[in-house]
Amino acid sequence: MLKKVIAIAFFMAIIVGACAPAGPDTIKIGVNAPITGDIPKVGEGTKFAAEMWLEAVGGELEIGGKTYAIELVIEDNEAKGESAAAVNQKLTTQDEVLVIVGPQSSKQAVPAGGVANDNKTPMVSPWSTNPATTLDRPWVFRTPFLDPFQGPVIANFATEEFGFTKAAVLYDVASDYPKGLADNFLSGWEDIHGAGSVVAFESFTTGDTDFSAQITKIMNSGAEFIFSPQYYNEVALIVQQAHELGFNAPVVGSDSWGSAELVNLCGEDCYGLFFSTHYAADGATGATKDFIDAYNAKHGYIPDDVGALTWDTFLIIQKAMEDCGEITGDLAADRACVRDALAQIKNFAGITGDMTFTEQGDPIKCAVIVQISDEGTFKFYDQACP
């Protein structure tokens, strides 16, 4: 009889244990990054910052009194929009990650954001500035400022710094980020100087490497400078070809210039030029300097804005997970909890600036203007806030 009672009790314990909600022992975080493709330095900075965060938390987090192992699921989007969307489909449905960091550039973040939103999985892009990334997507957030803010910032800077009245734009018409920012700059410039003050609005297509025809048109237009919101690999070609053709006026850029690889590719041709971005390593203090020093010691170079923004993004999702108070093991419910916690974050002190998310999932934050020094370093020059 006693053996029968013990057997029944043991059987009931198994049933109760199986039915009781118990959180998983491991939390998976997806990372959607361009490890290969035409901007591999962006993927490298993403991966390095993600791994540094994981190391900083000791590979685990305590949430609601329970300790969880953290696993990073890092996937390569090849710097392609369709690949980034496919990566998010895999991360959400096969890998069952709780939250996704990335993609970085808008060309990948816009389509990937649609997949994350459809699968009700929170996604935070550290670098995408195109409004379409988060627009009408309650599950998608970002940590950088937006292009409708950045465009006028650059227009105001070029006006006040140089006194210019005639602008030219050279951009990739086939890529979401440069196309959107080119339009935002155009609007911002014409708000100041009037219609027709952008005297050349020249485009090319992703993969082009010869810009001589566009630069020649710009030179004939009477433009006093060029605004080119391109990635670091294209900037070097544009600036060098402009100089070869005899255009020695300034070329002004945007946050996509901020890679450590820019100066390696462009050299002295880029010395003295300005671009808008999210943070400046020069003169950094406090937590920002601590991150820069740790990154430099580990990887041998100063982190660019991608690395810094990715670090901030991991700190933000860490806070959101901790604010949930519990990871139940019900993936849909846990994803919803993290999404709601992200939306509630106010006055977050990141190393790239303080952030409060709007209802659209976008932060309200400042931009900085950086100048490339004669030593090839990025020097803080000015700041513009909303």
Report how far residue 201's alpha carbon sits from residue 214's, in angstroms, rounded to the nearest whole number.
9
First CA to last CA distance, the chain: 77
CA distances from 90 to 73, 75, 238 (A): 10, 9, 37
Q: How many CB atoms lie within 10 A of CB 220?
A: 10
| DSSP strand pairing (367-372 vs 378-384) | antiparallel
In whole angstroms, what is the distance from residue 87 CA to residue 48 CA?
19
pLDDT in tens, the chain (386 residues): 434 433 433 333 333 334 434 456 999 999 999 999 999 999 999 999 999 999 999 999 999 999 999 999 999 999 999 999 999 999 999 999 999 999 999 999 999 999 999 999 999 999 999 999 999 999 999 999 999 999 999 999 999 999 999 999 999 999 999 999 999 999 999 999 999 999 999 999 999 999 999 999 999 999 999 999 999 999 999 999 999 999 999 999 999 998 878 999 999 999 999 999 999 988 899 999 999 999 999 999 999 999 999 999 999 999 999 999 999 999 999 999 999 999 999 999 999 999 999 989 999 999 999 999 999 999 999 999 87
Helices in 77-231 by DSSP H: which ranges?
A: 81-93, 106-118, 147-162, 176-193, 212-221
Residue owning tokens 């006040």? 160
- Peptide bond between residue 40 and the one before it cis (omega within 30 degrees of 0): no
From CA 98, how far away is CA 89, in angstroms rounded?
13
Backbone angles phi, psi at 379, to 5 degrees: -105, 130
Beta bridge partners of 66: 63
pLDDT in tens, 320-369: 999 999 999 999 999 999 999 999 999 999 999 999 999 899 999 999 99
Going along the chain from its start, the domains and CATH numbers come out as: 26-145+285-365 (3.40.50.2300), 147-277 (3.40.50.2300)
Q: How far apart are CA 28 and CA 338, in angstroms?
A: 13
Contacts 24+ apart (CB under 8 A), 321-328: 321/27, 321/61, 321/63, 321/98, 321/99, 322/61, 322/63, 324/63, 324/64, 325/63, 325/64, 326/23, 326/63, 326/64, 327/23, 327/24, 327/27, 327/63, 327/64, 327/66, 327/68, 327/98, 328/21, 328/23
Please report the pLDDT score of residue 16 as a whole number: 37
pTM confidence score: 0.89
Instruction: Give me 43's structure tokens.
Output: 């993927």
Instruction: Encode pLDDT of 233-273 as tens digits.
Output: 999 999 999 999 999 999 999 999 988 789 999 999 999 99
